[in-house]
Structures are given as C-alpha cells and as structure tokens.
C-alpha cells in the first residue's frame, strides 16, 4: 500500500484567528483512485482543497505528496509537483481566448527563457508551437476546439466548467482536485461530465479528489468517500457504507427523533 | 510563416516612418519646434509602453513610473557629463540602473495589491526624487546641465526597441503568464505561474524602458531638475496608458501621440491649456470608457473575426 500512496494528510488543521475551520483531517489517496469529499455547506471542503494546493498554509499537521512534504510550499510549486485544481466559483482568465487559457496552464511544459522570447530565438518558436499543439489536443478532448478563439467569458456556463477542467489538466497533474464540477449543471450535462471524468482518469492515469453536492454523481463514480462536517472528518468508506452511516445521515438531515 | 511576414511588414513601416521624417529634417522641412515635438512624442511613447507592461499586461497598478524616468535621466547625464562616456553607453547605463532600481522597488512592493501598491510605488518614486534633490553631485535642486545629444534617430530607435521587446515579451508564454496574473492572480498561481517572479520581471522591464526614455529625455532639454520627475509626471504617463485602453499596446502608443500633439499645440494658450487638456481627457473617457482601443490592438482591426492578434 505504501508505494501506491500518492497523497497523505495527517492531522491537518487550520485556524483563522479564533476559528478552527478544519481540524484533525486524516486522509490518503492511492494512485489511480477517484475519491469523493462531501459534507454540508460550510463543512470545510474547499478549505481542505485550499490547504492541499498551498493557497492556505495549514496551521497544524503535515501533507505529503509523492513522498515529499508539501505544506509550506506556494501554490505554483505545488502545481509543478503535480497537483492541479478547478475552482468552485469559476476562475477562468475571462479576457483571454479559450486556447490561451489552456496555454497559461501549459506554462511549464515549454522551457524557453524570457531572453529567447524577446529576441525570438528558435527555442521560442519550437516551445510555443509545442504549447499550442498540446493545448489544442486538450481542447479537442473536451470538445472545446471549435471555441478556441472565443473569449472565455463568452462561453456558455457548462462549457466554462469544462474549460476549467481542461485547463487544470493542461498543468500536467498527477492528482486532480475538482471543486464542485457539476454545480449548476442540468442532469444531462452532469451525466456527460461523469463520463468525461471517467475518461480523462483512464486516459491520463489520474488520481482524482472530487467535491460534489450531487449525490447521484458522487455515489455513482467514487470508490471511496470522505465526509466532512463542522471542519472534522466524520466518516469515510465506500458509497454504500456512507449511505448507511448514521453520523452522515445526521449531518445532512439532522438527528432522529426518538420518543 | 504568416506571422513573420507581418513582422517584416512592421519593420518596413517603421523604416518608412523613420526615412520620411529623417528626410524632412535633412531637407529642413521640419524646424526645431517640430523636431522637438517628435522627440518628445517618442519619449512619451516609450514611457507609455513601458508602463503598459506593468499596468496593462500584468495588472499591477504602479503610479511611480516617473521615479525610474528620473533614474535613467540622472544616471545617463552623469555618464555623459561627468564621466565623459559616449551617449549610447550612457543610455544603456541609464536603462540598466533604472531596471535595477525597478527590481529593488518591485521586490518588496509587489506583494501589495491594488491601492496599497499604488501608494507604495508613489512613495518610492518620491524617495528617488528626493535623493536626487539632495545629492549635490548632480546639482541638487538647481538641477544638472546636460548637453543636447538626443536626435530623432536615437529617439526613434528607442521607440522601436521598446515596442519590439515588449510586444515580443507579451506574445510568449511569459507574457501570457503576466496576463493571467492580471486576470486572476489566484488562478494563475494555481496553474503553476510563479506570480511574484513575473510581477517583478514585468516591473523591471518596464523600469528598464522608462530609464531608456529618461536618458533620451535628459539629453533633449539641456537641463534636468528633480521637480520635473514629481508625481504629476507619473500621472501623465498613467493617463497615456488608461486613455489608450488598459491592455492595449497600440492604444497606449496612440494616446501618447495624441496627447503629445494636444499639449504641444496648447502651449500657445497657456491660460486655458490645462482646462482644454482636462476636457479632452473627460470627453474621451465619457465616450470611450475603456480607453481609445479597449483591450484590442490596432492589428485586430485589420483581421476581423480573429481575436488575440499579435504584433510580431
């Protein structure tokens, strides 16, 4: 199991002033797994994501990714190591074209320096060409290549969500964190998205951690599920175990009335 | 291939502009008044474009650009007047030292955002000005006498290099990284862009060309004084960039040309000069709230339906 381990969080917690937003979170993901992270609103799911990606620095605990300790690293360093993410409230580069959005994430693929770009040396052209081809390939997978010259802000909502995943994928991650990828989508779009996630996971050998409120989606594709409530993990297990876990039911629906 | 074709097109255009003006100068069709206006125009274009990379591309609201202009002006003046170095080397010294000053100012201040960054850069520019004001070696408040060495040729080459370098930088993975920071810093960071690094680099490149403009400026006006480089000068440069449209290189060039012409002609009406100048600004901003060009480049107008045009 140990050599298969990709990321491990031990006793991770964060405190904002006097508020303990998240505490004592222990979770691990093996290579190739698709894991769900669920919980009621305000449970600390996105905060956990932010700690895993370096946006927030955990005030306690340790996170190891691929054998390296990653707490204390800046987000771009974490991304370079191989963790990439999408955002709950879409954060595309709105005034850039769809293609350029993906190219930005492809940044570290080509290595040409600033000097070679300014003087337009051959390495600039070969590097830019490589980035362009790679980015177009990603757009094609997501069916976005027809929109490549469109500004990101002009895309329909569902396409923007897809573009966010395409962009996250272009950063060449080993672990992909998806923050509510199906939010605001209709059942048909959600269904397509599920298939797409399953496809990219196989195609790129990804490990995926997914925050989602759509229980149908979560139960349908996740192998294991972590449940957060009030900043603490209250359960983890297979979808069936989670569905029957009294603590989870309590967190979502409130306590059972006993008379 | 198409790209390199348009690149040579721009080179040809630049050559034609240069040749026409140079010919008119040598045939004495343009008197000193107009020559001077053209050089001033070139200096303003360089300043506008060098601030464009900081504000328009990287989205860092710096209002201390005159500080780097001052560094370039004084350092190059010291190089020619005190050390007796040739003018081209003096220009280079001015630009490089300004870039170093940009690094020095940028590293601590670029952690700040928005209004705080604006105040901090303004403060640093004032510090730079006060330093020159108190150093007797460069004449203190009385200023420093500088020989007239700037010619149309120097100014024009300066403009071409500035535009070429900054547009080449913008249309590369590095420039895209900077634009990503402008659009959404958190997302850029999450996509693997070292945001601090690129902010500082953009700032240093901007300072370099402000220094270059400063060197040509210093050798055009016979005298440089610390008062010239106050925050009003910074605002002048800021106006070019905003009026041209944040994010548009050709816009800032156009605005610099337009406002130089306007203010040169208005010099004939000293009483109403500032009123008319301000009115021009207000009217433009009322009718074009995103600036003359918005975020578009002038090249986009020629290829309708194709977005994100490139300059080189």
> CA B57 to CA B48: how far, in whole Å?
12
Q: Hey, is the C-beta of B11 within 8 angstroms of any chain A C-beta?
A: no
Does residue A84 sit at the B interface (CB-CB below 8 Å)?
yes
Q: Using alpha carbons, select from B97, B182, B81 the residue that is nearest to residue B131.
A: B97
* Average pLDDT rounded to a whole number, residues B289-303: 79
Spatial distance between the Cα atoms of B246 and B226, rounded to a whole number of angstroms? 29
Determine, for residues A96 and B201 on separate chains, whether the beta-carbon distance falls below 8 Å.
Answer: no
Q: Are residues A186 and A249 in the same domain?
A: yes
Domain total for chain A?
Answer: 2
Taking an 8 Å cut-off on Cβ atoms, the answer to whether A108 and B201 are in contact is: no
pLDDT of residue A252: 83
**Domains (ranges, CATH) in chain B?**
31-231 (1.10.3470.10)
HEC sequence for B137-161: HHCHHHCEECCCCCCHHHHHHHHHH
Q: What is the band of B1 on the pLDDT scale with cuts at 50, 70, 90? A: very low
Q: A199 and A241 share a domain?
A: yes
Is A164 a domain residue? no
Nearest CB partner across the interface for A114, out of B169, B193, B194: B169
Q: Say whether A68 sits in a helix, a strand or coil.
A: strand
Chain A CB contacts of B168 below 8 Å: 117-120
Give residue-wise pLDDT tens across range B98-113. 999 999 999 999 888 8
Are both A67 and A110 inside the same structural domain? no
CATH of the domain at A19: 3.40.50.300
- The verdict on A108 and A139 lying in the same domain is yes
Distance from CA of A116 to the nearest CA of B (A): 9
What is the ipTM for the molecules in this complex?
A: 0.90
Same domain (yes/no): A99, A77: no
Identify the pLDDT of residue A253: 77
Mean pLDDT across B178-185: 95
Contact A91 B201 (CB under 8 A): no
Q: What is the pLDDT of residues A191-242, one digit of tens each?
A: 888 899 999 999 999 999 999 988 888 888 899 999 999 999 999 999 999 9
A69-99: pLDDT as tens digits? 998 899 999 999 999 999 999 999 999 999 9
Residue A120 in domain: yes
Position B3 scores a pLDDT of 56
Give the residue carrying structure tokens 């201390």: B64
Band (pLDDT 50/70/90 cuts) for residue A167 is: very high
- Indicate whether A198 and A238 sit together in one domain: yes
Q: Judge whether A28 and A5 are in contact, CB under 8 Å.
A: yes
Residues A64 and A7 in one domain: yes
Domain co-membership, A24 together with A58: yes
User: What is the strand order of the sheet A207-211 is part of?
Assistant: A83-85, A175-179, A207-211, A34-38, A224-229, A232-237
Alpha-carbon gap, residue B178 to B1, rounded angstroms: 26
**Tens-digit pLDDT profile for residues B226-247:** 999 998 899 999 999 999 999 8
Which residues are CB-neighbours of B151 under 8 A, at least 6 positions away? Answer: B39
Return the closest-CA partner of residue A226 out of A53, A48, A20, A62. A48
Q: Is B294 left (phi over 0), alpha (psi -120 to 50) or beta?
A: left
Cross-chain residue pair A100–B184, CB shorter than 8 Å: no
Q: Is the pLDDT of residue B2 over 50?
A: no
What residue in A sits closest to B184 (Cα-Cα)?
A93
Kindly state whether residue A240 falls inside one of the protein's structural domains: yes
Rounded to whole angstroms, how far apart are CA atoms B220 and B127? Answer: 25
Taking the C-alpha atoms of residue B118 and residue B134, their distance in angstroms, rounded to an integer, is: 25
Are A139 and A16 found together in one domain? Answer: no
Residue A36 lies in a domain: yes
Residue B247 to residue A95, Cβ atoms within 8 A: yes
Is residue A22 located within the same domain as residue A150? no
Residues of chain A in contact with residue B187, where contact means CB-CB under 8 angstroms, are 87, 91-93
* Inside any domain, residue A228: yes
Please indicate if any CB of chain B lies within 8 Å of the CB of A149.
Answer: yes
Is B304 exposed, middle or buried, given 0-12, 13-18 or 19+ CB atoms closer than 10 A? exposed
Q: How confident is the model at residue B309 (pLDDT cuts 50, 70, 90)?
A: very low
- Residues of chain B with Cβ-Cβ distance to A106 below 8 Å are 173
Could you tell me the maximum CA-CA distance found in chain A, to the nearest angstrom?
A: 80
Give the range of the structural domain holding residue A234, as residue numbers without chain letter.
Answer: 2-82+173-253
Tell whether B310 lies on the interface with A, counting CB pairs under 8 A: no
The answer, for A121 touching chain B at a CB cutoff of 8 Å, is: no
Residues A177 and A249 placed together within one structural domain of the fold: yes
Instruction: Indicate whether A198 belongs to any domain.
Output: yes
pLDDT in tens, B186-222: 999 999 999 999 999 999 999 999 999 999 999 998 8
A99 and A61 share one domain: no
In a domain, A161, yes or no: no
Q: Is residue A163 part of a domain?
A: no
Length of chain B: 312
């Amino acid at each position: 199991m140990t050599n298969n381990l990709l990321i491990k969080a031990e006793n991770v917690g964060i405190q904002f002033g006097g508020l303990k937003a998240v505490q004592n979170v222990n979770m691990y993901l093996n290579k190739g797994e698709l894991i769900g992270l669920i919980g009621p609103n305000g449970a600390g799911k996105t905060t956990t994501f932010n700690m895993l990606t370096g946006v927030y620095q955990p005030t306690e605990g340790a996170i190891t990714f691929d054998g390296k300790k990653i707490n204390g690293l800046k987000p771009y360093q974490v991304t370079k190591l191989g963790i990439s993410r999408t955002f709950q409230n879409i954060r595309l580069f709105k005034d850039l074209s769809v293609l350029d959005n993906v190219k930005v994430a492809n940044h570290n693929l080509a290595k040409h320096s600033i000097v070679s770009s300014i003087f337009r040396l051959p390495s600039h052209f070969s590097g830019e060409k490589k980035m362009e081809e790679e980015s177009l390939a990603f757009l094609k997978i997501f069916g976005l290549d027809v929109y490549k010259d469109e500004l990101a802000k002009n895309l329909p909502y569902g396409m923007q969500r897809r573009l966010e995943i395409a962009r996250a994928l272009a950063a060449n991650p080993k672990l992909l964190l998806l923050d509510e990828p199906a939010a605001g989508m209709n059942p048909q779009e959600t269904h397509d998205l599920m298939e797409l996630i399953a496809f990219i996971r196989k195609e790129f050998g990804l490990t995926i951690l997914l925050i989602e409120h759509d229980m149908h989606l979560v139960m349908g594709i996740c192998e294991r599920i972590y449940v957060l409530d009030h900043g603490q993990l209250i359960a983890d297990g297979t979808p069936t175990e989670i569905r029957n876990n009294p603590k989870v039911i309590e967190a979502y629906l409130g306590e059972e009335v006993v008379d | 291939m198409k790209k390199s074709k348009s690149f040579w097109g721009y080179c040809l255009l630049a050559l034609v502009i240069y040749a026409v003006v140079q010919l008119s100068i040598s045939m004495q069709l343009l008197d000193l008044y107009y020559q001077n206006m053209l050089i001033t125009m070139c200096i303003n274009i360089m300043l506008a474009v060098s601030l464009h990379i900081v504000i328009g591309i990287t989205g860092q609201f710096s209002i201390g650009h005159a500080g780097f202009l001052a560094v370039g002006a004084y350092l190059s003046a010291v190089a020619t007047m005190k050390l007796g170095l040739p003018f081209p080397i003096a220009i280079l010294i001015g630009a490089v030292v300004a870039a170093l000053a940009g690094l020095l100012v940028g590293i601590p201040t670029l952690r700040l955002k928005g209004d705080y960054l604006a105040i901090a850069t303004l403060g640093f520019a004032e510090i730079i000005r006060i330093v020159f004001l108190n150093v007797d070696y460069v004449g203190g408040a009385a200023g420093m006498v500088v020989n007239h060495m700037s010619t149309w040729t120097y100014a024009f080459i300066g403009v071409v290099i500035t535009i070429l370098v900054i547009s080449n930088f913008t249309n590369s993975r590095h420039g895209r990284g900077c634009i990503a920071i402008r659009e959404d810093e958190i997302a850029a960071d999450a996509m693997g862009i070292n945001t601090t690094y690129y902010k500082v680099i953009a700032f240093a490149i901007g300072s370099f060309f402000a220094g270059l403009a400063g060197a040509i400026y210093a050798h055009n006006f016979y005298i440089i004084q610390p008062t010239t480089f106050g925050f009003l000068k910074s605002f002048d440069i800021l106006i070019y960039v905003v009026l041209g449209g944040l994010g548009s290189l050709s816009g800032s060039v156009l605005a610099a040309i337009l406002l130089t012409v306007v203010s040169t002609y208005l010099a004939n009406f000293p009483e109403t000069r500032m009123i008319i100048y301000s009115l021009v600004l207000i009217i433009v901003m009322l009718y074009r709230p995103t600036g003359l060009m918005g975020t578009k480049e002038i090249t986009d107008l020629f290829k309708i339906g194709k977005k994100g045009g490139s300059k080189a």
